[in-house]
Every structure is written in structure tokens, then in C-alpha cells.
Amino acid sequence: MERKKIVAANWKMNTLHAEAITLAKDILTMTRLVKEVEKIIFPPFPFINDVALLLQSETGFSTGAQNCSAYEKGAYTGEVSCAMIHSVGAEYVLIGHSERRAYFKEDAEVLVAKVHRALAQHLKVVYCFGEVLNERKAGQHQAVVKKQLQEVISQVPKEKMNQLILAYEPVWAIGTGETASPAQAQNMHAFVRQCLAELVDTETATSMPVLYGGSCNAQNAKELFACPDVDGGLIGGASLKPQEFASIVKAFQ
Ligand code: PGA
């Protein structure tokens, strides 16, 4: 079965307002013709609305939030709810990113709560997971990934599985310039599908998009995207350079 091809831009805590708009416009102009690839842009919170407005009449472009609150609404100073995110035109939210797990101590309980909130607001979730370097060196990468999938996927009702996209991001490859080799990526993505078959069913295992993230760039994208179980990329650093991001998107052609 033919899965969607997706390339997502995670801008993290970068850009000011004017830069964000220019970047979104440049990405739009440079990738508009690559119709077979769905582009998702994850700007910082304050710029989601403007980026979403810019992309709303375009086909093949969507906007997402990099985070969301685990709470519904109310006295949670500084938090941003899924309903708020949805109300400014975002369709997606990133949950489980390694930077959220490491720096903000987000554990499985919080991640499951966030996923439930997001799905209830009809947001699609890009659920990120991946092992750290020591875990890979110790040969524990599959066990770690299986646990991270099990903790969250088993809590998602079957009828909502089509609101989920997965992103395997080996932590040792994020922002380090080091990338998983195509063989390492393919092995893990195939293993992820095996886990999905066990945790959910074979239909979900074959239909769910699984993206690769971690120093994906214009040089290595083609090889990574050629792997049969890699359905695209979640791009950090390289998504801040429109030319480079466009080359990554075009690597799918
Ligand atoms: P990177 O980040 O492309 O800069 O490694 C990927 C990510 O964290 O989503």
C-alpha cells in the first residue's frame, strides 16, 4: 500500500516574527510544485496563526504546534491548550520530542495525557521517539523504542490511529550532524512496523507513516527516503534554510 510522503519542518525556538513569515513564504515558493509530498511546518507558538493563514489556501501544506498542554483549559499560567492550537489553524502537534523528554522531563504519563487532549481536539499527532547514544551502544535501541511506542500507542483507541504519525529520531543524531545510516534507519523503521503489528494490527502497521529525524539534510535525504519503511523526515536545523529544506523535499521526487 502506498503511504503518504511527508516532510516536516521543526523550527524549534528559532526565528522572530518577520523571519518566520519570510521563511514560510520561501518554503512555499520553493516546494509548491512538489505536489506528491505533504509539507508540515511547525513554527514557534506566536507565529502559528500567521503561518497557517499563509498556507491555508495551498494544497499539500499544513501547520502544526511543537508542543501542547496536557490540560484542557483554566488556571495553568503559560500553557497553550490543544483547543487554542486548533483555533489558530494548526492541524498537527509534535508530542514526545526528545528535547521535551530531556529538558522538560516529560514522561509517559504526560505524553499520554497530551496525546489524548490533541486527539480530542481533532489535531493529528506526530509522536516522536528514539534512543540515546548509550542505549544504542549497549544494543538496547529496539527495546527502548518498543517501550516508547508501547507506552503511548497502547493508550490510543484504534479508531484514532489514523490521526497518528510516528517520527523515529535517534537522539544521538539530533542536531549533531551525525545521521543514522540508511540501513540503521530502515532496520528501525521495519522494527517499528513490527511493533505496530503487535500493539495494534497489521493494517495500522502498513498504513501509518513513519518519519525519520536527526540531522537529515540535502545530502543524505535521498538515500534515507529511498528506504522502503521511511515515509519522510522531521527536519530541524536544515528546515531553517529554505533552499536546503526544498532540496530535502525534492529528494522524494
Ligand atoms: P535536526 O533536528 O534535524 O536539527 O537534527 C531534528 C528534530 O529534532 O526534529
Question: CB of 233 closer than 6 A to ligand 1?
Answer: no
Give the span between the Cα atoms of 211 and 225, in whole angstroms: 9
* pLDDT over 70 percentage in the chain: 100
Whole-number pLDDT of residue 212: 96
User: Distance, CA 232 to ligand 1 centroid (Å)?
Assistant: 13
Whole-number pLDDT of residue 177: 82
CATH label of the domain that carries residue 145:
3.20.20.70
The pTM is what?
A: 0.97
Residue closest to 189 by CA, chosen among 175, 176, 170 = 170
Mutate-to-test residue for ligand 1 from 6, 10, 11, highest number of ligand atoms within 8 A of CB: 10
CA dihedral 39→83→93→124, nearest 10 degrees, is -70
Q: Evaluate if residue 1 carries a pLDDT over 80.
A: no
Domain encompassing residue 153? 5-252
Average predicted confidence (pLDDT) for the chain: 96
pLDDT one-digit tens code per residue, 42-66: 999 999 999 999 999 999 999 999 9
Whole-number pLDDT of residue 178: 82
pLDDT one-digit tens code per residue, 96-145: 999 999 999 999 999 999 999 999 999 999 999 999 999 999 999 999 99
Taking residues 16-37, report their average pLDDT. 97
Taking residues 214-218, report their average pLDDT. 93
- Burial classification of residue 162, based on how many CB atoms lie within 10 Å of its CB (0-12 exposed, 13-18 middle, 19 or more buried): exposed
Question: CB of 237 closer than 6 A to ligand 1?
Answer: yes
Q: Evaluate if residue 179 carries a pLDDT over 90.
A: no
Q: Contacts for 111-115 with beta carbons within 8 Å, 24 or more apart?
A: 111/151, 111/152, 112/151, 112/152, 112/155, 113/70, 114/68, 114/69, 114/70, 115/152, 115/155, 115/156
The number of distinct structural domains making up the chain is 1
Place of cell 504519563: 109
Whole-number pLDDT of residue 176: 87
Mutate-to-test residue for ligand 1 from 7, 41, 127, 215, highest number of ligand atoms within 8 A of CB: 215
Question: CB of 217 closer than 6 A to ligand 1?
Answer: no
Question: CB of 213 closer than 6 A to ligand 1?
Answer: yes
Q: Residue 237 CA: which ligand 1 atom is closest?
A: 4
Give the span between the Cα atoms of 136 and 106, in whole angstroms: 21
Cβ neighbors of 53 (< 8 A, separation 6 or more) are: 89
Give the span between the Cα atoms of 77 and 56, in whole angstroms: 30
Question: CB of 175 closer than 6 A to ligand 1?
Answer: yes
Q: In this structure, which residue's CA is closest to atom 2 in ligand 1?
A: 236
Give the span between the Cα atoms of 5 and 101, in whole angstroms: 27
